[in-house]
Structure 1
């Protein structure tokens, strides 16, 4: 919870936002994980405010409280990992699919995690019994049609049986029905995103997690799941606020890495990792690499996800060895 206190006006200007944000800098720096620099977090927050001026109409306490919650989860409010949503004068921080998957990947026990939706007409089987497995053939001619199911799969580093979660559209609709935005917003505009979020949220509760250490990767994941749960109640009551799904512009990824439009194209992440000569340089690239890993996993490109993961691990190992006396 944020300890922010201010005499700021109810409606902030961009300049006042910058001045008030400086008051929570020590708290944000304390909460952020090592792989997310404060400079990156601040750039993305500023970008989010510039892209959605309605955030400045929210109460300062709720707006800066949402920033603190994002830092505590170790996620960027970039519309991919999470989003700060203005609603009735209050700013609400909500983790998103990519954010939950990122937190799961960062935990010590999970090797990979993915979530997909099944469109009507696609070949799909969920086989139970002694050899449980999911068989799904993506049919691009069916993409964008009616969603009939969603599923998520997590593979553990110990090589044990993958953890699977499958939900029918009827089950997903039970979640949708208790959302205040069930007929508009994300459920209307991005039903596939919301279906993936619903199933991966349920799967996350079955993952091995230890919350003994404060602000560990596992504790951050648990906290993010609880935050999502607070927005979507499964006991038949409506949530306090809708679950968001925001299409993030490319500028967020550029802002996160300090890149402006005028700078043009940057080298590929593989090239940047190979060119890195210090551990700090690798750490600065780490978050962008993990975002690409999450996107590749969502798109079913496990080869790319594994190649990026291996390249990041190799860069960490190489720079650490070079800097170790």
Structure 2
């Protein structure tokens, strides 16, 4: 390698997106909730750039979009480039997208919900629900041919054992959200390759207005070594049950908005819904 090449490499390193992240360290860590360690968060942010060359190229061309994505990630209290919050290069910009894990984690952080149930319903499943029922009756055959996805449901179980509003979405709603998603018909779209994961995210979004959410843990800290969100490798019927935090009234207003999904088609290999990959 010539001296000129080495000089150019050093210049790129010192002015590239990693340098920009380090330069704005105080701005980024200032908005982090207290349960997130700033040093760990910063390492994950720069590590995401090293793992994904396409992300690095787009972040170099459009650093503003990359910083906006990181700021949103920090505000929500998620780790960047993980299944809680994806950093996705799409066209000439970096998009920050909260994943299914991230949505469920924010529900737990508020402290009012001790378990979240979210499941996809297939045409071969037995499913029964009406507004007079506390919870749906759902009997899937995990080892048989379950047919096509026809809907999904989600609800939260509060600390006192009561149930939140049960949110049910049908195939028409799923198709509407999918249609409004960028590149949803592309062969590389997560809607094509990991439809079940995208449906779970959609129904989790619909649950948000009916349960408290927070960016900060309401109890002192989550129990170390205990998973707070469902592993996508497990059956969709598995309830997501963290250790019960102390009951505390939440001053968070639920998100009162209709969900419109806006997923790009260029998901990196390590950040695909349902892949089970971890950063």
User: Same fold per TM (> 0.5)?
Assistant: yes
Alignment partner, residue 34 of structure 2: 34
Is 1:132 paired with 2:134? yes
Cα distance in 1 between the residues matched to 2:24 and 2:136: 46
- CA distance change for structure 1 residues 105 and 141 in 2, over 3 Å: closer, same or farther? same
Q: Deviations over 1:221-251 (max 9, x none)?
A: xxxxxxxxxxxxxxxxxxxxxxxxxxxxxxx
Alignment partner, residue 180 of structure 2: 178
The TM-score with structure 2 as length reference comes to 0.71
Alignment partner, residue 93 of structure 1: 96
Cα distance in 1 between the residues matched to 2:87 and 2:41: 13
- CA distance change for structure 1 residues 85 and 144 in 2, over 3 Å: closer, same or farther? farther
Q: Deviations over 1:16-49 (max 9, x none)?
A: 3322111221112111112111122122222321
After the TM superposition, which of the residue ranges 93-102 and 43-52 deviates more from structure 2? 43-52
Instruction: Write the mapping of 1:220-235 to structure 2, written as runs, cut at 5 A.
Output: none
1:32 and 1:38 in contact (8 A); partners too: yes
- CA distance change for structure 1 residues 293 and 143 in 2, over 3 Å: closer, same or farther? farther
Structure having greater relative contact order (Cα 8 Å, sep ≥ 6): 2
User: How many equivalent residue pairs?
Assistant: 227
Is 1:24 paired with 2:28? no
Instruction: Write the mapping of 1:228-243 to structure 2, written as runs, cut at 5 A.
Output: none
Is 1:104 paired with 2:107? yes
Gaps of 5+ in 2: 1-10, 247-279
What secondary structure is seen at the aligned counterpart in 1 of 2:36?
coil
Gaps of 5+ in 1: 1-11, 219-281, 314-325
- CA distance change for structure 1 residues 137 and 179 in 2, over 3 Å: closer, same or farther? same
What secondary structure is seen at the aligned counterpart in 1 of 2:229?
helix
- CA distance change for structure 1 residues 163 and 128 in 2, over 3 Å: closer, same or farther? closer
Cα distance in 1 between the residues matched to 2:190 and 2:167: 22
Alignment partner, residue 205 of structure 1: 209
- CA distance change for structure 1 residues 39 and 298 in 2, over 3 Å: closer, same or farther? farther
Instruction: Give RMSD over aligned pairs.
Output: 2.9
